Amino acid sequence: MTNAPLPNIEARFRAYAEKVSTALGHADRVEPFRAYCTGLLLPVERKSVEPMAAQLAPGHVSAKHQSLHHFVAQASWSDDAVMRAVLDYALPKMQSQGPILAWIVDDTGFSKKGKHSVGVARQYCGQLGKQDNCQCVVSVSVATLHASLPVGYRLYVPQEWIADRERRTRAGIPEEIAFQTKPEIALEQLSALTKMDTPKEVVLADAGYGNDSEFRRGVRRLHLSYVVGIQKSTKVWAPGTEPLPPPEYSGCGRPPKLPRRSLKHTPVSALKLAQNLPNSAYQTIVWREGTTKILSSRFATVRVREGHRYYWHSDRPSEEWLLIEWPEGDPEPAKYWFSNLEAAISPEKLVDTAKLWWRIERDYQELKQEIGLGHFEGRGWRGFHHHATLCIAAYGFLVAERSSFPPSGPDLRPAFTLPQIPEGWKPRGASPQAGATYSIFHRHHKKETHDHSGKQSVSMPLLAPDQRSR
**pTM for the whole thing?**
0.84
Q: How many CB atoms lie within 10 A of CB 43?
A: 16
pLDDT digits (tens, 9 = 90+) for 141-178: 999 998 999 999 999 999 999 999 999 999 999 999 99
What are 203's strand-pairing partners? 103, 226
Q: Which residues contact 276 (CB under 8 A, 6 or more apart)?
A: 238, 268
433 vs 315: which has the higher pLDDT = 315
User: Is residue 228 predicted with pLDDT exceeding 50?
Assistant: yes
pLDDT of residue 8: 83
Query: Are 392 and 20 in contact, with CB atoms under 8 Å apart?
Result: no
pLDDT digits (tens, 9 = 90+) for 455-465: 444 444 443 43
Burial zone of 361 (CB within 10 Å; 0-12 exposed, 13-18 middle, 19+ buried): middle
152 vs 114: which has the higher pLDDT = 152
% the chain with pLDDT above 70: 78
User: Is residue 32 predicted with pLDDT exceeding 80?
Assistant: yes
pLDDT of residue 264: 61
CB crowding 218-237: b at 16 or more within 10 Å, else e: bbeeeebbbbbbbebebbbb
The secondary structure element, H or E, covering residue 150 is strand 148-156
Burial zone of 329 (CB within 10 Å; 0-12 exposed, 13-18 middle, 19+ buried): exposed
pLDDT of residue 295: 92
Of the listed ranges 27-36, 44-53, 223-232, 341-350, the one predicted with least confidence:
44-53
Across the range 198-225, mean pLDDT stands at: 96
Instruction: Give CA–CA dist 244/399, Å, rounded.
Output: 51
Q: Which of 286, 230, 288 lies closest to 101, judged by CA?
A: 288
